[in-house]
Amino acid sequence: MPELPEVETIKNELLPYVVGRTITGVALFWDRIVRSPSVDEFISQVVGREITGLRRRGKYLFFVLGGDGLLVMHMKMTGSLLINPADDRFTRAIFYLDNGSALHFWDPRKFGVMWLAEDDSDISRKLGPEPLGDEFTVEVLSQLLKNRTAPVKPVLLDQSVIAGIGNMYADETLFDSQIHPMKPAGTLSTDEIKQLYGSIRKVLSKALDKKGASVRNYIRPDGNPGTAHDEFNVAHGVGKNCPNCGTPIRRIVVRGRGTYLCPNCQRY
């Protein structure tokens, strides 16, 4: 968290604010947010650069800088990017822009990171296909799952398999496809793979339409929440009942990750 729908929403809503703008200054309030180069070098290489583009890959954001190079950001667990927020208590870095606005890297738990890179090749080669992209098909998913003995839930979370899916959308996807999260990925039938594929795209597209899920710390660049969580069926659902059969939602742990499911609809 943020996952694909949240990072894509951040990208889409930041575009009109940052593209074409020049960074006139940088203020850091948590030096460890910068992964590389050194803090002084980072600031000197960013200030005076125009932001000529903004794109997403998986959960990463790439600010394309005039001349060459990228400013890479990853929100990790609790990060968001805000334009001129009223409350800056959790601001870890500010990028001042030439139109007088300011982009805040807001992160209560200080997990988010950023760095400079020549291009996105080192990141992209480690990531699987984009689940909402044309290159992601039923056949591709079938090959990605083939012969895997790990439970399907951690396979969905593996960014080298599919880029952008995190814990809550994996839970929602598996519920929608009625697959138990502990079922070995390589044992899914052809029909189950087809159902899983459709559920992945359905769940992510719906969440994107709702501007992401503000379950804990995620907020959109203008400070407003996303509303995807209002329609969650099982994610973060302890104390709720299954919307299909009324069975209480159960929480289990799968490979160290809290996992929510309906034990009746998702039998194993």
The catalytic site residues sit at 2-3, 59, 257
Q: Do residues 71 and 65 make contact, with C-beta atoms less than 8 angstroms apart?
A: yes
Question: Measured between alpha carbons, how far is 207 from 184 in angstroms, rounded to an integer?
Answer: 26
In this structure, which amino acid lies at residue 230?
A: D
Which DSSP category does 213 fall into? B
> Quick one: the chain helix, strand, coil %, rounded to 5?
30, 25, 45
Query: Which single residue is written with the structure tokens 């929602």?
Result: 172
φ and ψ at residue 217, rounded to 5 degrees? -110, -15
Element (H, E) at 216: none
Provide the 3-class DSSP secondary structure of residue 2: coil
Which whole-number Å values give the CA distances from 221 to 1, 26, 97, 169, 188, in the listed order?
15, 18, 15, 21, 39
Q: Which residues contact 196 (CB under 8 A, 6 or more apart)?
A: 141, 152, 173, 174, 177, 179, 188
